[in-house]
Amino acid sequence: MPPSFLVDGMLGSLNRWLRICGYETEFSRDASDDELLERGRERGLIVLTRDRLLLREARRSGVDAFFVEGSSDEERLASVAREYGLVLDPVMARCTICGGRLKEASRDEIAGEVPQNSLEAYDGFWRCSGCGKVYWRGSHWARIVEKVSEASRIAGVVKPENSL
Ligand SMILES: [Zn+2]
């Protein structure tokens, strides 16, 4: 089982990148430190933070926590990947907004929710089983792949050969 994370409200961007790579995360921008630690303990999640005080509190109360190194998205993603042996590869598995699972959807199911030109230009579509947001690999996808590859390179994690 890959690890699941509880991401500190200061690390919203890291939270999105972890979801893009298919990892299960919980994220709340406004949770207090106490709320975070309680949720981490209850659900057995690893707290990711750059707050040394929160890290110390977590360790003192027996909650698994990790201090995320780096200043860029790529460096931070690499830092978590190195620590937990994560494979970094963008997949259509998790909603970046709510963390819900994505399910493949047919063109008919999402027509009307996707701009006509995207509907014609792209093939695969997915819908979040949590919030309903529709996803497709649009023109931004190449940049996503590039960024995740860079994080992978920094982490020194080798990409599986058969992945896209
Ligand atoms: Zn969602």
Taking the CB of residue 118, how many other CB atoms lie within 10 A of it? 15
Cα 98 to Cα 132: distance, rounded to the nearest angstrom:
10
Could you tell me what percentage of the chain is helix, strand and coil, using 3-state DSSP and rounding each to the nearest 5? 40, 15, 40
How many whole angstroms separate alpha carbon 56 and alpha carbon 37?
Answer: 11
Q: What is the pLDDT of residues 74-132, one digit of tens each?
A: 999 999 999 999 999 999 999 999 999 999 999 999 999 999 999 999 989 999 999 99
Task: Tell me if residue 99 falls in helix, strand or coil.
Answer: coil
Tell me the per-residue pLDDT of 37-83, one tens digit each, with 9 for 90 and over: 999 999 999 999 999 999 999 999 999 999 999 999 999 999 999 99
Q: Which CATH architecture has domain 5-88?
A: 3-Layer(aba) Sandwich (3.40)
Distance of CA 28 to the CA centre of its chain: 13
**pLDDT reading at 157 higher than 70:** no
The answer, yes or no, to whether residue 162 has pLDDT greater than 90, is: no
Give the Å distance between the CA of 101 and the centre of ligand 1: 7
Rounded-to-integer distance, Cα 148 and Cα 84, Å: 16
Which residue from 33, 34, 27, 2 is spatially nearest to 13, judged by alpha carbons?
27
φ/ψ of residue 143, rounded to 5: -70, -35
What crossing angle do the helices spanning 141-155 and 12-20 adopt, rounded to 10°? 100
The CA 139 to ligand 1 mean position distance, Å, reads 20
Is the pLDDT higher at 127 or at 158?
A: 127
pLDDT digits (tens, 9 = 90+) for 11-23: 999 999 999 999 9
In the predicted model, is pLDDT for residue 148 greater than 80? yes
CATH 3.40.50, the chain: domain bounds:
5-88
Predicted local distance difference test score (pLDDT) of residue 158: 53
A 10 A CB-CB count for 50 gives 17
Give CA–CA dist 81/88, Å, rounded. Answer: 7
Q: How far is the CA of 70 from the centre of ligand 1 (A)?
A: 28
- Which residues lie near ion ligand 1 (Cβ < 5 Å)? 95, 97-98, 100, 128, 130-131, 133
Q: How far is the CA of 94 from the centre of ligand 1 (A)?
A: 8
Percentage of residues in the chain having pLDDT higher than 90: 90
Query: How confident is the model at residue 1, as a pLDDT?
Result: 84
Kindly report the average pLDDT of the chain as a whole number: 93
Distance 17 CA to ligand 1 centre (A): 14
Length reported for the chain: 164
pLDDT confidence band for 28 (50 / 70 / 90): confident
pTM listed for this prediction: 0.91
